[in-house]
Amino acid sequence: METFDYIIIGAGSAGCVLARRLSDNPAIRVLLLEAGPPADKFWVRTPAGMAKLYFHDKLNWNYFTEPMPEMLNRRMYWPRGKGLGGSSAINGMVYIRGHRQDFDTWRALGNPGWGFDDVLPYFKRMEHFERGGDAYRGQDGPLWISDPVIRHPASADFVAAAERHGIPRTDDMNGALHDGVGFMQHNIKHGRRHSAWMAYVEPVAQRPNLVVRTGCMVQRIVFDGRMATGVSVISGGETRVLQATREVIVSAGAVNSPQLLMLSGIGPGEELQRFGISPVALSPGVGGNLQDHFYVHTSYRSTRDSSYNHEITGARKYWTGLRYLLTRSGYLALGSSQVAAFVKSRPEEDHADLQISFRPMSFTYHGNGLVEVDREPSIAASVYRLRPAVSGTVRLRSLDPLQPPLLQPEFLTHQGDIDAVISGLRQIRRILATEPLASRVVAEILPGSEVQSDAALLDYLRQHGNSAMHPSGTCKMGSDPLGVVDERLRVRGVERLRVVDASIMPHVTSGNTNAPTMMIAEKGADMILHDAVAHCPRQAA
């Protein structure tokens, strides 16, 4: 039986950080398991290749929600990364930490050590910020963070138009001023995607004390009583048990981490009973508190010089591709959105509860997952509510870990969420109707100028709303009865088992979730090393 000190389940945004930090000590033997394949492909490393990965048959779990009554019984597509780097290998590469208040709220909910001042050093430790370090930013970390290589004039005009509506300009949304409008930063290094795998593990993959295995699906965590001692995996059609003498760490993400805990006997009693799973520890919060950002897209026909659609479609896309191959610059080196505005849906909000993103190009999202750049000159903006009022669930579909779980996000079931997103749509319209941006707009395509009333806009949300790919919270950290892990990310009710990924967030952060997920792993690695238990000679059951 193979034995390691630590077994990490999932080589995504959190798992890669953990593998690097734990294996920094050559005396510690680390195993990093990934269900998917290696992700060393041209379109993975090329920033604009994200559209080709959105429905990839090998690098994406390609999940769907259950039918949602409030959304015309639609089954919404939920892409999740599957492969080295996880979702950081297929996402839009946007780097947003979130608002200071997000983390102070985590601390106030009974999680000491998780306030903004506590986590800031970990954000800084992971960053190599292109502009240099300061009180808020790091420069010596492994993760490269850059500004857009092209600042399109239409994007600059969006910032100027938003300022005219009283939204303050910020030169660094990850610095002193989060709420405001400005250019986004991305995990892009010299024109190439810098995923968690590329930043953290690829440079040290030859370490003798670090073993990385792809194509390994973990069936369950193995226990001796209430002590986690290893994992049972399926690899190459065979089932094997691997032993962890110190800890098993679950970093499979907000969908798969609760699924694995339940399959291993940790979860709500009724869910375990429904599938005849012998309980190891009853934990009613597992799979609950599913939070995500409900996202809605708008697009506008524009003047030709306001959009770069023509640069990445038709015959010109070959010139753009050649430019990228020769220089690693141009439009193929850009992330998903250029500019963001963090704004309030209503004056009573304490701080911004909406994120509006703008891009000087547009695409059509097809129901089968295909994303296609529009051929006509167009620009686009999207909005989502940062702090949703409701949460959903992840539940088991089958005892087979290869079967997708049941996803029920409960979108559009709370009037506050609906009102906030509709406010965001109206704010997008006001900004795009303001100079210097207004003269770039020819016509509104989506939702369409005829869609004006709240009822009509709600119908649009039901038909066109989607996930922003930010699921979180399903193994939440907390001291209340629904808390799955404690403030040191240890699973309550068992020993030598932690969850370290976006699923531990008590509330989803105010923005894209990749950066805070990696921060969680940076902090989690320090906790694991500090709490290291003595070598245990027990064999897995």
- Per-residue pLDDT of the chain (541 residues), as tens digits, is 899 999 999 999 999 999 999 999 999 999 999 999 999 899 999 999 988 898 898 999 999 999 999 999 999 999 999 999 999 999 999 999 999 999 999 999 999 999 999 999 999 999 999 999 999 999 999 999 999 999 999 999 999 999 999 999 999 999 999 999 999 999 999 999 999 999 999 999 999 999 999 999 999 999 999 999 999 999 998 999 999 999 999 999 999 999 999 999 999 999 999 999 999 999 999 999 999 999 999 999 999 999 999 999 888 888 999 999 999 999 999 998 999 999 999 999 999 999 999 999 998 877 665 678 899 999 999 999 999 999 999 999 999 999 999 999 999 999 999 999 999 999 999 999 999 999 999 999 999 999 999 999 999 999 999 999 999 999 999 999 999 999 999 999 999 999 999 999 999 999 999 999 999 999 999 999 999 864 554 443 3
Do 533 and 317 meet the contact criterion of CB atoms below 8 Å apart? no
Domain 1-125+194-291+392-410+471-541 shares a fold with domain 149-183+294-385+412-464: no
Q: In 3-state terms, what secondary structure has residue 306?
A: helix
Out of 470, 507, 530, 535, pick the active-site residue. 470
Do 366 and 372 meet the contact criterion of CB atoms below 8 Å apart? yes
At 489 the pLDDT is 98
Q: What is the DSSP-derived secondary structure letter of residue 481?
A: T
At 367 the pLDDT is 60
* Tokens 């398991």 sit on residue: 33
CA dist 369 and 384 (Å) reads 20
Q: What is the 3-state secondary structure (H, E, C) of 156-212?
A: HHHHHHHHHCCCCECCCCCCCCCCCEEECCECEECCEECCHHHHHHHHHCCCCCEEE
CA dist 186 and 310 (Å) reads 23
Structure tokens given for 128: 């190599």
Q: Which fold has domain 149-183+294-385+412-464?
A: Cholesterol Oxidase; domain 2 (3.30.410)
Do 194 and 200 meet the contact criterion of CB atoms below 8 Å apart? no
CA dist 143 and 187 (Å) reads 7
Structure tokens given for 407: 């996803």
Angle between helices 153-164 and 415-432 (to 10 degrees): 110
Backbone angles phi, psi at 391, to 5 degrees: -135, 160
At 537 the pLDDT is 47
**Alpha helix (H) residue ranges in 433-464:** 454-464
Name 113's Cβ contacts closer than 8 Å, sequence gap at least 6. Answer: 107, 487, 523
* Tokens 């992330």 sit on residue: 335
Beta-carbon-side half-sphere exposure of residue 161 (alpha carbons within 13 Å): 24
Q: Can 351 be counted among the known catalytic residues? A: no
Candidates 487, 437, 383; CA nearest to 161 is 437
Strands 181-183 and 339-343: antiparallel
Candidates 301, 305, 296; CA nearest to 356 is 296
Structure tokens given for 411: 């979108």
Do 464 and 295 meet the contact criterion of CB atoms below 8 Å apart? no
CA dist 458 and 77 (Å) reads 19
Q: In 3-state terms, what secondary structure has residue 242?
A: strand
pTM of the model: 0.96
* Tokens 């947003």 sit on residue: 96
The dihedral built from the CA positions of residue 327, 331, 335 and 341, taken in this order, carries a sign that is positive
What residues does each domain of the chain span? 1-125+194-291+392-410+471-541, 149-183+294-385+412-464
CA dist 244 and 4 (Å) reads 5
Instruction: Give the architecture-level CATH label for domain 1-125+194-291+392-410+471-541.
Output: 3-Layer(bba) Sandwich (3.50)
Q: How far apart are the first and last CA of the chain?
A: 12
Length, in residues, of the chain: 541
Q: At 360, which amino acid appears?
A: P
Structure tokens given for 163: 């300022």
Candidates 174, 389, 397, 387; CA nearest to 274 is 397
CA dist 205 and 85 (Å) reads 13
